[in-house]
Amino acid sequence: MKPKEWVKNLRVYEPGRPIEEVARELGFDDIDAIVKVASNENELGPSPMAIEAMQKSLAEMHRYPDGGAFYLKQKLAEKLDVAPEQLLFGCGSNELIVFLGHVFLESGTNLIMGAEAFSVYFLVAAMYQAETIRVPMPEHVHDLDAMLRAITPETRLVAVCNPNNPTGTMVSPEAMDRFIEQLPDHVIAIIDEAYFELMPEEQKPDVLKHIRAGRKNVIALRTFSKAYGLAGLRIGYAVGHPELIGLLNKVRQPFNVSTMAQIAALAALDDTAHLAQTRAMVEQGIRFFEEELAAIGVKTVPTGANFILAETGRGREIFQELQKRQVIVRPVDPYGLPNHVRISIGTPAQNRKVMDALKEILA
């Protein structure tokens, strides 16, 4: 084999560990006893309406997907008050980030991101041999003014994950508006809103108003993986100017989003009860962890997502010890946070098991 030399140096993304893998490694027979709160999944499961729609569609899985996601695009466009041609669907929002890299990045260009932000931005930049400029994040929050100052003539993309993964922190609506208004024309702002549906209403920036007003260099990314509970189907979407969406469509494979994913997402959009239950579960879980962790002297970072970042000390060691107690969390040392773990919000019973295990270890 003679791969391209630069490919050898690419870093592989470290996902949350599957329950089955941990069970095999540690010899656990009862997989159901393992609590996985590592990947920010919705522990209520998929929308019941989505499950019903998928079950009804099983006999049609011999057909190729609708490459343009016509019905889903129409419904979502109406919901978001945008034109259908302003939407693009992907295999999760990750694929959409790859599309952006494919179109805009190459050797000699750069991408700007927060130093503690979602690592896929860095990985995509490396994939297209572009430089990554990491901007420090005071108090684990994106410094949008510093990100603007970091822009160079070679900058093509600047990524703002809001709420940020893995810290959970948010930028204010006012700060987001100022950032977008000051953005140079040669730079595309990727506003990654994977947790948008779970944010406190008063803290949600309205990025789409800038897109509706005709801004060509702003794109919002959202997903059905988190609040809608469809992570296993891998479906996300981008909202942007038709010209920008048209460019991304040029590098999209014809059938990148499966029929099942489209059917589930279409039904999930109507399941307002499931979304409300998810929000209530997350809000309750965040309060639980904030209070319980504070009681044992563990600091947490304010969050607008469905996870909480806890400063436990010895993050990788805590992660390993929790696995022995049938709990899977996420170590975040790859993000420069070796003393923290990220805990996804689960059901009340799951949250209690995590806390009991943490108390036992930290005692």
Each domain of the chain, given as residue ranges in start order, spans 5-45+272-362, 49-268
Kindly report, residue by residue over 242-253, the tens digit of the pLDDT.
999 999 999 999
Kindly report, residue by residue over 107-121, the tens digit of the pLDDT.
999 999 999 999 999
**Burial bucket for residue 75 (CB in 10 Å: 0-12, 13-18, 19+):** middle
**Which residue, among 251, 219, 235, 243, has the nearest Cα to 73 in the 3D structure?**
235
The CATH label, of 3.20.20.70, 3.40.50.170, 2.60.40.10, 3.40.640.10, for the domain at 49-268 is 3.40.640.10
**Which residue, among 146, 162, 160, 152, has the nearest Cα to 190 in the 3D structure?**
160
Kindly report, residue by residue over 159-174, the tens digit of the pLDDT.
999 999 999 999 999 9
The CATH class given to the 5-45+272-362 domain equals alpha beta
pLDDT over 90 (residue 20): no
pLDDT over 80 (residue 21): no
Structure letter (DSSP) for residue 114:
E
Q: What are the residues whose beta carbons fall under 8 Å from the beta carbon of 341, sequence distance 6 or more?
A: 309, 310, 312, 315, 318, 319, 322, 329, 330, 331, 332
pLDDT band (50, 70, 90) for residue 9 = confident
Are 131 and 125 spatial neighbours (Cβ–Cβ below 8 Å)?
yes
pLDDT over 90 (residue 37): yes
**Which residue, among 268, 248, 267, has the nearest Cα to 256 in the 3D structure?**
248
**Which residue, among 144, 140, 123, 141, has the nearest Cα to 132 in the 3D structure?**
123
**Which residue, among 256, 154, 351, 138, has the nearest Cα to 146 in the 3D structure?**
138
**If residue 157 lies in a helix (H) or strand (E), which one and from where to where?**
strand 155-161
Residue 169 has a pLDDT of: 98
Helix and strand numbers (H, E) in the chain are: 13, 13
pLDDT over 90 (residue 280): yes
Alpha helices in the chain (DSSP H): 19-26, 48-57, 70-80, 92-104, 120-127, 144-149, 173-182, 208-212, 242-250, 259-268, 272-295, 315-324, 348-362
Kindly report, residue by residue over 145-156, the tens digit of the pLDDT.
999 999 999 999
pLDDT over 90 (residue 287): yes
pLDDT over 80 (residue 22): no
pLDDT band (50, 70, 90) for residue 8 = confident
For residues 337 and 116, give the distance between their C-alpha atoms in angstroms, rounded to a whole number.
Answer: 8
Residue 158 has a pLDDT of: 98
Kindly report, residue by residue over 303-354, the tens digit of the pLDDT.
999 999 999 999 999 999 999 999 999 999 999 999 999 999 999 999 999 9
**Which residue, among 117, 119, 205, has the nearest Cα to 161 in the 3D structure?**
117
Residue 32 has a pLDDT of: 79
What angle, rounded to 10 degrees, do the helices at 92-104 and 242-250 form? 90
Query: What tokens were used for 58?
Result: 């099983």
For residues 66 and 60, give the distance between their C-alpha atoms in angstroms, rounded to a whole number.
Answer: 12
Residue 31 has a pLDDT of: 80
Residue 341, number of CB atoms within 10 A of its CB = 29
pLDDT band (50, 70, 90) for residue 40 = very high
237/17: higher pLDDT: 237
pLDDT over 90 (residue 6): no
**Which residue, among 281, 286, 249, 321, has the nearest Cα to 95 in the 3D structure?**
249
Residue 12 has a pLDDT of: 76
For residues 258 and 280, give the distance between their C-alpha atoms in angstroms, rounded to a whole number.
Answer: 30
For residues 40 and 308, give the distance between their C-alpha atoms in angstroms, rounded to a whole number.
Answer: 10
Tell me the β-bridge partners of 311: 299
- How are strands ordered across the β-sheet holding 155-161? 87-90, 236-239, 218-223, 188-192, 155-161, 110-114, 131-135
pLDDT over 90 (residue 188): yes
Kindly report, residue by residue over 73-123, the tens digit of the pLDDT.
999 999 999 999 999 999 999 999 999 999 999 999 999 999 999 999 999
For residues 235 and 232, give the distance between their C-alpha atoms in angstroms, rounded to a whole number.
Answer: 9
For residues 233 and 91, give the distance between their C-alpha atoms in angstroms, rounded to a whole number.
Answer: 8
Residue 136 has a pLDDT of: 98
Structure letter (DSSP) for residue 224:
S
Encode 131-151: b = buried (16+ Cβ within 10 Å), e = exposed.
bbbbbebeebbbbbeebbebb
